[in-house]
Amino acid sequence: MFGDVSSCNTYNYGDALYWDSRYIQEAGGAFDWYQRYSSLRPFVRHYVPTSSRVLMVGCGNALMSEEMVKDGYEDIMNIDISSVAIEMMRRKYEFVPQLKYMQMDVRDMSFFPDESFDSVVDKGTLDSLMCGTDAPLSATQMLGEVIRLLKPGGIYMLITYGDPTARMPHLNRPAYGWNILLYNLPRPDFKRPGGASLTKSYLEPIPITEKGTLPADFVLEDPDSHFIYVCKKMDDTGLSNIPTYPLTSEIL
């Protein structure tokens, strides 16, 4: 869908007016883009401790933050460009102290001081900007803010339709200095032709070539699957502390 800008439709997903209109039409309903928390939980729990201060960018009216709180997360700041979505979510979670909501453009999060968060979770927000006007500039502005807001060793978890050819040119810039791991997650309802089970474990990271592409022998079993980029902000020593123990679906 959002592998590159050519796959975007005519909607301006980077425009607040589009989202305000959409959330008014949805009249208080909930919708999770791409994946539900239950599918993403092994990755989130593996890389984001429950004690983390989390920034959920482009929260919309999704249930993910609520489900993370039910799973033990203690402090989630949710932002969205749509004032309609934010007011709706503030009212909905008025008595859930672990959830906070602010209207904000991810391209300018200057309200927050440097190194304010342990983790930033992005489920489709960068994709939305890539479908808007001035997409490369918007992506640079957003990612510059993300790296500024993360503490050393912090995690930016990007869930996207963009394969490495489309996303690594934006993520893999020397100014960011990420240590990046890549995963591929099929759609929740995906079934291989004939009902056969998937042949690969989605919990195994995918090697990225030196050119920032998928390996030549990599087979995308679900053509509409999602890529998960786990981007770690290097700490002051320049060493990566991303866990090397196996990622499993049974994260306690």
238 pLDDT exceeds 60? no
Q: Is the per-residue pLDDT at 98 higher than 80?
A: yes
Which residues in 155-166 are b (16+ Cβ under 10 Å) and which e?
bbbbbbbbbbeb
Q: Within 13 Å, how many C-alpha atoms sit on residue 154's CB side?
A: 22
Q: How far is CA 249 from CA 17, 46, 49, 64, 90, in A?
A: 39, 9, 16, 17, 32
Q: Residue 252 pLDDT more than 70?
A: no
- DSSP lists the bridge partners of residue 29 as none
In the three-class reduction of DSSP (H, G, I as helix; E, B as strand; rest coil), residue 117 is classed as strand
The reported pLDDT for the residue numbered 195 is: 61
Nearest to 118 by CA among 145, 157, 144, 151: 151
Between 212 and 133, name the one with better pLDDT: 212
Q: What is the mean pLDDT of residues 113-123?
A: 97
pLDDT score of 91 more than 60? yes
Which helix or strand (DSSP H or E) is residue 50 part of? none
Q: Which helix (H) or strand (E) holds 38?
A: helix 37-47
Mean pLDDT of the chain: 85
- Higher pLDDT: 231 or 1? It is 231
Question: Which strand ranges, in their side-by-side order, compose the sheet holding 75-80?
Answer: 99-103, 75-80, 53-57, 117-123, 150-160, 226-233, 178-185
Please report the pLDDT score of residue 230 as a whole number.
98
Domains of the chain (ranges, CATH numbers): 37-233 (3.40.50.150)
Long-range CB contacts (within 8 A, 24+) of 92-97: 92/28, 93/66, 96/66, 96/69
- pLDDT of amino acid 2: 39
pLDDT attached to residue 242 = 46
pLDDT for residue 196: 59
| pLDDT tens figures, 148-204 | 999 999 999 999 999 999 999 999 998 999 999 999 999 888 876 666 555 567 889
Quick: pLDDT tens for 189-228.
Answer: 887 666 655 556 788 999 999 888 999 999 888 888 999 9
What is the pLDDT at residue 139? 94
Percent residues over pLDDT 70 in the chain: 82
Q: How confident is the model at residue 32 (pLDDT cuts 50, 70, 90)?
A: confident
How would you classify residue 122: left for phi > 0, otherwise alpha for psi between -120 and 50, otherwise beta? beta
DSSP label of 175:
T
What pLDDT does residue 54 have?
A: 98
DSSP state, residue 121? E
